[in-house]
Amino acid sequence: MAPGTVHVVGAADPILTRVVAEDKVSWYKKPNLRILYLLLLPTCIGIEMTSGFDSQMINTVQIVPSWQEYFNHPKGSLKGIIAAIYSLGAICALPFVPLVNDRFGRRWAIFFGSFMMVFGSILQGFANGSAMYIIARWFLGFGIPFCIVAGSALIGELSYPKERPILTSLFNALYFVGALVAAGISFGTQDIKSDWAWRIPSLLQAVPSALQIAFVFFSPESPRFLISKDKREEAFAILVKYHAEGDANSEIVKAEMAQIESTIKIELEHSKRSWWEMVRPPGMRRRVIIASFLGLFTQWSGNTLISYYLNDLLVLIGYTDPKFKGKLNVGLNSWQLVNGVTAALLVRRFPRRVMYMTCTISLLCVYIGWTISMEQFLTKHGEAAAKLTIFFIFLYSPAYNIGYNALTYTYLVELFPFAQRARGITIFQFWGRGAGFFTTFVNPIGLENIKWRWLITYCCWIAFEIVFVWFMFPETGGRTLEELAFLFEDKALADEATMAVEKQIHHEENPLEEITSKAAPTQTKEVV
């Protein structure tokens, strides 16, 4: 079933979605839209490359003998804190993320977060001991949520409605580009007979963030943010340039502007944009519960075992050769990139709930098989069981990516209205980073002490995820962001926003006439 035909309970009438669907011109045939997406690639879509680079860099440098020797072969809690401090740094940043986003805009938040990560990468590359290395990774973690929250929101708020689900899904998929590059670089530097074997990958972690700093202000600001700051003419000019190829009389852009303006006006009239209102209204409470558990699910579904401790897993099943482990890691990350991008490109074809249920059920099946094969190897030491364990490690990524990777930020951007979007994604980040800190810290302890039985805890948790997704996750596919703004609220609010769009489309009144006349003559100067 195509998302456009999905019935979304509580959502506004998809009047603009239907109008946009009539536009049959592909994005790559629109020069200005092409330029927009090319700008979004390094500044927004590429943000998760930094997260992927970090997880694989810290994973693969553990295979490098010089790293082990320099840090005196860290084990247990020290190994755990080296990986987990990244998440702790992110948690410390979260109270400030919405403030920067809502006050200074999406672009400044990306710039600030990227600057912090460049600083952290340099500190990490020149670390003179465990303490400096851990502090550097804290700075890296502190910077990443500013970029993720702002970048995911900016993609959703700038994209043409037809391509928005795919672009927000590719946001997470590019995690694997960073992971693959880190795995390849670390594998390539293994043969360097000095500390530079791990210092080079550590320093190169700054590259994605440096690209964001270089290109972020070439990208336009979010029209939603500009409208919330009473910069209507500038917002309209951006929509005209990129969504209508410079046609100030485009009916689609006028309807889009009417929908955004009316919805944000209603939102801000009923919102104080405070943390308290995230838990006061029943509808917002449900959104917060969903975002919180989604944060837990994305980190407690067993993925951090593979992302951070593949080396330990391979040692447990008898693979100790650094060359073999390095090659397998590169192959695994290549496979993850392929199926991650494939899943992102499928998001418009299936309802969100179908993809999430497929994801969670598949993960449970994979983890049960993985647990059994690992137990068989550790008790009988059969080569077939070891190979079967590697098979399940490879099978894990498509199961995870079809939901938790492909849909996470697409779903969050759709779930929260503009006025609460930054805080909503920040709440998701809080629980996700907290879960990431906990699980990356305890994973090496669990593997060391109870071996294959540690995987049973993930089997139980994933079973709970299936139940939660079935009962709590609403369908959000096939609607614009504004059509989903009052998903859990009074239907009258959604109808009020819909009426403004209908009036614009049917020319009953032209609320944008003044904006059009002001913006059209100056649009090139303001948006170039």
What is the secondary structure of 279-296 as a DSSP string?
TSSHHHHHHHHHHHHHHH
Judge whether residue 9 has pLDDT over 60. Answer: no
- Average pLDDT of the residues in 304-308: 79
Whether residue 267 contacts residue 419, with contact meaning beta carbons closer than 8 Å, is answered with: yes
Least confident stretch, 76-85, 143-152, 178-187: 76-85
Judge whether residue 4 has pLDDT over 70. Answer: no
CA 305 to chain centre: 19
Judge whether residue 2 has pLDDT over 50. Answer: no
pLDDT tens digit sequence for 15-40: 677 777 788 888 889 999 999 999 99
pLDDT, residue 494, reads: 60
pLDDT, residue 1, reads: 39
SS3 for 429-464 is HHHHHHHHHHHHHHHHHHHHHHHHHHHHHHHHHHHH
| Phi–psi pair at 507, nearest 5 degrees | 60, 30
In 381-417, which residue ranges form alpha helices assigned H by DSSP?
383-400, 408-415
Residue 238 has which token pair? 């951006």
d(CA 301, CA 459): 8
Q: Is 230 left (phi over 0), alpha (psi -120 to 50) or beta?
A: left
- Burial-class residue 292 by CB neighbours within 10 Å (0-12, 13-18, 19+): middle
d(CA 464, CA 247): 51
pLDDT tens digit sequence for 50-74: 888 877 777 777 777 888 888 888 8
Average pLDDT over the chain reads 83
- Average pLDDT of the residues in 333-353: 90
User: What domains, with CATH codes, occur in the chain?
Assistant: 14-219 (1.20.1250.20), 280-502 (1.20.1250.20)
Q: 32: how many CB neighbours lie within 10 A of its CB? A: 15
- Average pLDDT of the residues in 70-87: 80
pLDDT tens digit sequence for 467-509: 999 999 999 887 777 777 777 766 666 666 666 666 665 654 4
Query: Which residues make Cβ contacts (< 8 Å) with residue 437, sequence separation at least 6?
Result: 84, 85, 87, 88, 91
| Phi–psi pair at 9, nearest 5 degrees | -65, 130
- Average pLDDT of the residues in 192-208: 88
d(CA 36, CA 53): 25
